[in-house]
Structure 1
């Protein structure tokens, strides 16, 4: 079953389905529309079977249906028309239609009705309904595009959630799980079949301090760290979330921090080991510095002792030099005396020889 074209001018080609038992009346309707500028392609049916076949073989731009027919009726045609779900004008055109019947037809889904003895109303009614049908189709097309875009966006969002290296879960106020991504499913099974506290923590009742309940009550994000049913540690984030239908749910995100905590513990141990090595090395350096300070003090003391000894020796040397100088002067004096005595003796001998 085909839908009509999306772009239809006020005049121009018009595919018309006539539900009419009178061939003459059908000709008059076609002529009226052709005089208004429409290029009519039409088909006339007057039984339910023919109408179903014609609707299947469409597309059509307009349906004009008589209200009273020997083997069919406008209301029965309208019911078949609505079963097909087509969005195009359906106008009742009848020679005799009471007010009650007209109201009934409009309530049943007819877009308008025109009396055959007032043909001038046909063209304005057709033009108006064609315009409104186009507007509806455009709106429906836009809504369909928006819905498809939304579905595509949701699919992308779903794919992203499935690939996240963290758990994501949507939880209702009664702890039912609406959605759990692959991360959570692989670790805790099909979470949507059990309450969140049973899936994540293997509990028979809600957690004593249930963040989900607190988030729903206060509409404030919360977070905590806990050990889940798989024995691993998680950092859980709880965010209040409103679904598209206005229902309040909680988005739960769980990040596995087990390896991070192990790494942090190893890092702490390594840091403590390094700190102990630093303290030990510091003590060694302090001890070495103390020994060096003692050696330096001893060396200074020895140097001071050497300087004192040097001063003593210098003073002793000066004293010795003074004694030597004095002794030398004394010796020289005695030598001079000896030389004078020897000279005296020599002269005395010479005089003695002369005398003898």
Structure 2
């Protein structure tokens, strides 16, 4: 199932009946980030493209588009901007007529090839698994019901089947690990280009792949962080004196740093003249999060949880001061413990929402 954002991006890309390599790369990257099945998504994309081209052929001929018509996409952040804009309102990227870069497309295609190989090998493994389980089941049933009753081997057969399933599942995990290692190695050894345009495009891909806001940095994300650092440091050298390009790259880095968990925020070195700007933005972000957390905390304490806790505490105090019947104290303590745990969980959840 396609997300509304992905549907909108497809519609924008196919609006003129042309799907460039760069647009296909961006769409595939967005689909991967959304958790869509890439083979299925590519089939849907090709089908939609065919429908658009078929409809265009039936209508009056239209002039060829150079992809700078009614809408265009920012190569830095992917935001939609009007055709007459010279700067992206989201990240400040300045548009030009430079031909699309190739490095990001090359890396993406290589990673896609690995994913397709993995999917094919897993499909073969699943087919082999089904055949082996079917053969085992036929062998177990070949002796007949009486044989199984008198041999009393039902438990042994179940154990044999469980052992086979565990072995086959281990094989599937090994395939997953093999291709994950290959993917990580490919990201690490991929050659970083020398031109500013290529570096910006590759930096956009790497920084967007380095973290998905789930609070966890896995092995693949660590590889993307290392690649992002490598690209940015080379761009700092190549773009020395080009403040526009350097600011575009730094904006991508700042956007990533803001989203990263605390222990990864210093994953790259930023020129001193730009570091102060980042620190100011990070402090402002932290202050904004603190304010949001205070509001969430106030809402929790002013809601039914806080009121219930207050009533329970009041009953405990009354019982302690005036020695009311003991069962009231017991009920109040139970309510205090249960609602207290619920309140604490709600507070931690509110805090995690602001962190990630």
Q: Normalising by structure 1, what TM-score?
A: 0.18
Higher relative contact order (CA closer than 8 Å, sequence separation 6+): 2
Q: Is the strand fraction higher in 1 or 2?
A: 1
Compare CA radii of gyration and give the structure with the larger one.
1
Q: Normalising by structure 2, what TM-score?
A: 0.18
Q: Is the helix fraction higher in 1 or 2?
A: 2
